[in-house]
Amino acid sequence: MKESFPTPQEIASAVEEALARRTHVDYISFSGSGEPTLNPRLTDAVAEIRKITDIPIALITNSSLLIRPAVLEAAAQFDLVLP
């Protein structure tokens, strides 16, 4: 069974809810209990978040997929990449 990922809109909505509960945020970070670069709509998720805030966005990655052009292009959308 193929693992499904949250949609970019679901991610942005969760970020918006979290930001409503915080007074200061340095970065919005993509990480989690799996490799974030496996999400095929990562670029879209970053774009959705940029619509709601100007807080910098970080990618925490094991970097194993950065050799793929589409993943490298997605990583370039982040303000900070931490391999």
For the chain, how far is it from start to end, CA to CA, in angstroms? Answer: 29
Q: Where are the alpha helices (DSSP H) in the chain?
A: 8-20, 42-52, 69-75
pLDDT higher than threshold 70 for residue 72:
yes
* pLDDT surpasses 70 at 25: yes
Q: Mean pLDDT, to the nearest integer, of 1-7?
A: 73
Q: Please give the average per-residue pLDDT across 26-35, as a whole number.
A: 90
- Token pair 């209990």 is found at 33
Domain residue ranges in the chain: 8-16+24-82
Burial of 66 (0-12, 13-18, 19+ CB in 10 A): middle
- pLDDT of 1 strictly over 90: no
Evaluate if pTM is beyond 0.85.
Answer: yes
